[in-house]
């Protein structure tokens, strides 16, 4: 395991985590929900398209899908249905343990926040299921009305709310849009994806 990418430098005073695919192995469940919902409409969606837009709000992804593939899906209704599907699956989700270990190590030592493109109901359920219900001072989601990643707004607001300057925050992310948002906010950004495959293989082989 590459522990270097999870280290917290001494100048860091606050930690900010994405949720899906960073704290919890939710992405297979979300992908399944996406494809099920597209199928109901008689449509398919390339996985590469979803991967590219990971971290953006669901309704925004649907609007981009409409633009790229010349469809007329109701983005808000599609998003509602997709997130409802995901909610029904999330009770079985597993943590991404190396990232969760960082949370446990610094809980009560450094202020921590979650910044997610998911809706609040799903994010809070996910955090609860993986045992981190009381770990974060702040949780910001798509329901809070900030521009979607890669805009830096949610990260900057999270830093403000935990009382830490952006340059003293370290962000953990698994999506290109989220990593870009963190950098746009002037924060250190850690890509957890190099750990992902090894960690999940270990967990599911038990």
User: First vs last Cα of the chain: how many Å apart?
Assistant: 17
Q: Which of 18, 20, 25, 153 is catalytic?
A: 18
* Residue among 54, 75, 56, 57 at smallest CA distance from 66: 75
Alpha-carbon distance of 8 to 204, in angstroms, equals: 27
Alpha helices in the chain (DSSP H): 27-40, 47-52, 58-69, 75-89, 97-106, 120-129, 153-162, 176-184, 193-204
128 is annotated as an active-site residue: no
User: What distance lies between CA 81 and its chain's CA centroid?
Assistant: 19
Active site residues: 18
């Amino acid at each position: 395991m590459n522990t270097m990418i999870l280290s917290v430098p001494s100048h860091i005073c606050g930690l900010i985590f994405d949720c899906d695919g960073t704290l919890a192995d939710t992405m297979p469940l979300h992908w399944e929900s996406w494809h099920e919902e597209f199928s109901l409409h008689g449509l398919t969606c390339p996985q590469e398209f979803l991967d590219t837009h990971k971290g953006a709000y669901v309704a925004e992804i649907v609007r981009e899908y409409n633009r790229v593939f010349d469809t007329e899906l109701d983005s808000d209704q599609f998003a509602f249905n997709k997130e409802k599907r995901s909610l029904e699956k999330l009770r079985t989700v597993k943590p991404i343990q190396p990232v969760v270990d960082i949370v446990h190590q610094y809980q009560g030592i450094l202020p921590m926040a979650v910044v997610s493109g998911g809706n609040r109901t799903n994010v809070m359920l996910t955090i609860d299921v993986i045992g981190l219900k009381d770990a974060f001072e702040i949780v910001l989601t798509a329901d809070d009305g900030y521009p979607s990643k890669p805009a830096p707004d949610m990260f900057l607001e999270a830093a403000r709310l935990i009382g830490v300057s952006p340059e003293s925050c370290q962000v953990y992310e698994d999506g290109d849009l989220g990593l870009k948002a963190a950098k746009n906010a002037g924060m250190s950004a850690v890509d957890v994806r190099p750990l992902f495959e090894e960690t999940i293989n270990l967990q599911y082989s038990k």
